[in-house]
């Protein structure tokens, strides 16, 4: 949806931020975005840190250097309303693998993985624009549910990393092969409706709720069940954007683990696993001030039955075999002030220096059945952050922030209530880029 808004605004106002998802007629668009980051965390990254003995890891700390996202975009408008867009994303530097001869092992050939990461075709679509009110798009594209998916470029948020709440509980950046109808009115309304395959409940888990369900371990995306998504943005007030978005679709039968005939004959014949997500997000920019916020709530029907089904799956299955929540939520707000806006010369140079603060609350196990109340207290947390964003030019930013993750209280082993998991402070810095150009 953000791409559509940018396209309309460019055509009407000749904006200097061209549409990354479709060039003007007869033009080629190239661009992308990315981040180079480093952080130090005063808490453990051991997978047992939320187990029965978290104090064992209370004094641990670790650091990371990373390339969370590096994206290359290519787009072309063929004319007569036809255009194409592609986006390739390298996460964490991509992957590096090679075939090597091991001299110490009899000269055998071995496959070596030299670097972890992911390479994904995040977008590939063909589009026909009939007019500003009616545009059809088919192919791999971003599902703009929530504020983060619709505005995930590294210059569209203050933090060094994407906000933890939405990033944790729903897919991000969420991309699916979908059929989309979208458009825009002259008084600032922008709309989008999508038809897409459903999520896969086999892959849901306690930490990330339905997020893993958008992926596929196969060479294709299963489409035994379907879903719909929609988004509406209002930009009729200068500097303000108000947005509503949502998703609804079944998830239980989107699997290869059992046939539909077997499921229909079992205790799971009436299970649907309907995932419903509703979200509101906003952004305001004016007078040197920027504020953004979002609230997202999700519900999964038949969560207890799906949990039992996943736990019963055989060893080595695609399932994490974990308890899954019926409800999850994420909320966040950030605000910053550009002190360079007080200097006319710096404004003319399009430089900016923001001091910002951000607060998030999210819980991937907000509601669940048949388990002790505090078993998954670590899945819900508050997070507060303060930092700076410096933009020497419009397309490049330098970020720094200090954040503090505050975990919930719960019941200790001795029966008393109090803090049972360690808080999570960290400092992070990053250099980010986002730019799109027409040739």
In this predicted model, what pLDDT tens digit does every residue of 401-434 receive, in sequence order? 999 999 877 666 556 666 778 899 999 999 999 9
Residue % of the chain over a pLDDT of 70: 85
The SS3 of residue 10 is: helix
Q: What is the pTM of this model?
A: 0.88
Paired with 230 in beta bridges are 193, 246
Q: What is the mean pLDDT of residues 21-30?
A: 64
Average pLDDT, the chain: 86
What 8-state DSSP symbol labels residue 326? S
Q: With contact defined as beta carbons under 8 Å apart, do 169 and 176 qualify?
A: no
Q: What is the mean pLDDT of residues 261-290?
A: 90
Alpha carbons 146 and 44: distance in angstroms, whole number? 30
The SS3 of residue 347 is: helix
DSSP 372-392: -TTTTGGGEEEEEEEEEEEEE
Q: What pLDDT sits at residue 248?
A: 98
Residue % of the chain over a pLDDT of 90: 64
The SS3 of residue 117 is: coil
Q: What is the pLDDT of residues 149-203, one digit of tens each?
A: 999 999 999 999 999 999 999 998 899 999 999 999 999 999 999 999 999 999 9
Q: What pLDDT sits at residue 317?
A: 80
* Overall size of the chain counted in residues: 439
Q: What is the mean pLDDT of residues 389-405?
A: 97
The yes-or-no verdict on residue 130 having pLDDT over 80 is yes
Q: What is the pLDDT of residues 354-366, one digit of tens each?
A: 999 999 999 999 9
List, in order of start, the domains of the chain with CATH numbers.
Answer: 2-95+113-438 (2.40.160.10)
């Amino acid at each position: 949806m953000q791409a559509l808004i940018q396209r309309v605004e460019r055509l009407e106002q000749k904006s200097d931020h061209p549409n990354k998802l479709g060039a003007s007629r007869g033009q080629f668009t190239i661009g992308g975005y990315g981040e180079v980051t480093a952080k130090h965390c005063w808490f453990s990254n051991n997978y047992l840190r939320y187990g029965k003995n978290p104090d064992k890891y209370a004094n641990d700390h670790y650091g990371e250097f990373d390339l969370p996202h590096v994206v290359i975009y290519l787009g072309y408008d063929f004319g007569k309303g036809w255009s194409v867009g592609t986006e390739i994303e390298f996460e964490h530097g991509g992957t590096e693998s090679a075939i090597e001869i091991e001299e110490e092992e009899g000269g055998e050939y071995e496959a070596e993985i030299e670097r972890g990461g992911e390479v994904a075709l995040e977008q590939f679509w063909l589009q026909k624009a009939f007019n500003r009110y009616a545009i059809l798009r088919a192919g791999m594209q971003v599902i703009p549910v929530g504020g983060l998916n619709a505005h995930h470029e590294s210059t569209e948020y203050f933090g060094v990393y994407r906000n933890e709440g939405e990033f944790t509980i729903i897919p991000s950046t969420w991309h699916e092969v979908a059929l989309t109808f979208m458009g825009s009115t002259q008084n600032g309304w922008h709309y989008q409706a999508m038809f897409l395959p459903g999520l896969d409940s086999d892959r849901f888990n306690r930490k990330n709720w339905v997020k893993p369900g958008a992926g596929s371990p196969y060479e294709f995306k299963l489409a035994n069940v379907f879903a719909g998504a929609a988004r509406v943005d209002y930009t009729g007030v200068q500097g303000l954007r108000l947005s509503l978005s949502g998703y609804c679709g079944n998830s239980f039968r989107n699997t290869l683990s059992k046939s539909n005939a077997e499921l229909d004959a079992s205790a799971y014949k009436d299970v649907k696993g309907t995932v419903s997500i509703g979200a509101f997000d906003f952004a305001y920019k004016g007078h040197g001030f920027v504020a953004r916020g979002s609230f997202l709530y999700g519900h999964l029907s038949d969560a207890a039955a799906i949990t039992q089904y996943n736990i019963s799956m055989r060893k080595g299955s695609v399932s994490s075999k974990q308890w899954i929540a019926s409800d999850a939520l994420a909320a966040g707000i950030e605000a910053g002030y550009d002190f360079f806006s007080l200097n006319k010369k710096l404004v003319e140079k399009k430089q900016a220096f923001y001091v910002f603060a951000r607060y998030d609350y999210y819980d991937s196990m907000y509601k669940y059945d048949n388990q002790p109340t505090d078993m998954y207290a670590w899945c819900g947390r508050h997070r507060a952050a303060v930092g700076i964003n410096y933009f020497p030019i419009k397309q490049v930013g330098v970020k720094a922030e200090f954040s503090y993750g505050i975990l919930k209280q719960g019941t200790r082993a001795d029966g008393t209530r109090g803090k049972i998991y360690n808080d999570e402070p960290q400092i992070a810095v990053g250099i980010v880029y986002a730019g799109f150009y027409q040739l």
